[in-house]
Structures are given as C-alpha cells and as structure tokens.
Amino acid sequence: MLDEFMKTIGDFVFAEDIPEKADIIFIPGNGYPEMAEHAARLYMEGYAPHILPSGKYSVVMGHFSGVLSSKQDYNRKYDTEWEFLKDVLMHNHVPDHAILKEDKATYTYENAIYSRKVTDGLGLTIRKAILCCKSYHARRALMYYQMLYPDTKFYVCADCPDGITRENWKDTEEGIRAVTGEVTRIILQFQLMV
C-alpha cells in the first residue's frame, strides 16, 4: 500500500510528455543549464520557432543565485535567470531572434504570468507549447502555465540536473524532501488561487 502511494505521488509530481511540434518552448527561471540545453536541442530539431526563458531571480534570494551546474561552460556573471538562460541557449546554437525576453518574474507563478504578457504583447497565438523544466518541478510549473494559457496543449519535457527522478526520489532524504516539498507547495499555492 505504501509503495502504491509513493508511486502515485511520483506519477503526479513528475509530469512528462513526448514533445510534439509547438508554437513556443517555455523555460521557467532557474540556475541549471540542463533545461535550456534541452530546449535548444528541441529548437534545433524544429519543434518550435520561439523559446521564452523567464526569470529575474528568486524572490527568496533577492538576486540571481548563480549557475548551479556546468559552471565551467557558463562562467560569466549573470544578473538575471533570463540572462543566464539566454546565454545557455546561444551557447547551444539558438539564434538571438528566436529567444524572447521575460526578466521580471521572481517565482514560478510569475514566470507564467509574465510569459503570457510577453506572448500577448507580441500577438502570438499559443495553441501548443513545450515546457522545459526541472523534473520534480514539472507539475507545479505545468499547473501555472495551464492557468495562464487555458486553451494551450502543453508537452512537459523535464530534466533532472540534480539526479532526483521519478524512480529514485524516495530513496534519499534529499529526494523525499524535494518531492514532498513540491506537493506541499502545490497544495498551498493552489489554495491561494481558488
């Protein structure tokens, strides 16, 4: 019974899809390059004509906390998550004209809110979108983007830069803390929105 409960939590938190051609690729703000590298590969394979990284920095930190992996490849000083993610995209051959800008968001819900303002401001109709995010952040990010784009079909393409996966999250204290923390945030933040 406990195994079934744990599997249900994992299946819920770790949302993931096989990508399809879309109108845009969204990247919620973060300090890991893996999600932007994934978005760059999808762009280069022709999955979408635009990529919209989003983020200023964490509201908790009050500044960009820095690059969290592959520091040898991305060793500039970045003032915002957007600046960092744009650099990752360009480093991975995405042309400047394909990268849209949102550099005001300080938490996940704002990533979605301000991304919607950007796409509306550009007159873009988003029927299908790919969401490149951290694996155990996928459900919460998807929840927010779906709220702001209720008529859009989303394809979640998640990465696990810190090694916490659907299969192993329950095996370590760090994994349990990360995933149960996400469940708690989803519940608490959902209550604020209804």
> In this structure, what are the phi and psi dihedrals at residue 12, rounded to the nearest 5 degrees?
-70, -50
Q: What is the pLDDT of residues 68-93, one digit of tens each?
A: 888 888 888 999 999 999 999 999 99
Give CA–CA dist 47/145, Å, rounded. Answer: 19
Domain count, the chain: 1
Residue with tokens 């650099």, as numbered in its chain? 87
Residue 169 — very low, low, confident or very high, per pLDDT cuts 50/70/90?
Answer: very high
Mean pLDDT, residues 15-44 taken together: 97
Tell me: pLDDT of 191 over 70: no
The average confidence (pLDDT) of the chain is 93
Mean pLDDT, residues 118-146 taken together: 97
Residue 58 has a pLDDT of 87
Q: Indicate whether this model's pTM tops 0.85.
A: yes
Q: What is the pLDDT of residues 133-144, one digit of tens each?
A: 999 999 999 999
Closest CA to 33 of 98, 78, 100: 78
Residue 66 has a pLDDT of 86
Q: How many other CB atoms are found less than 10 A from the CB of residue 91? A: 15
Residue 1 — very low, low, confident or very high, per pLDDT cuts 50/70/90?
Answer: confident
Q: What is the pLDDT of residues 35-72, one digit of tens each?
A: 999 999 999 999 999 999 999 998 888 889 888 888 88
Residue 193 has a pLDDT of 65
CATH of the domain at 98: 3.40.50.620
Q: How many other CB atoms are found less than 10 A from the CB of residue 183? A: 15
Domain ranges, residue 141: 2-193
Residue 194 has a pLDDT of 59
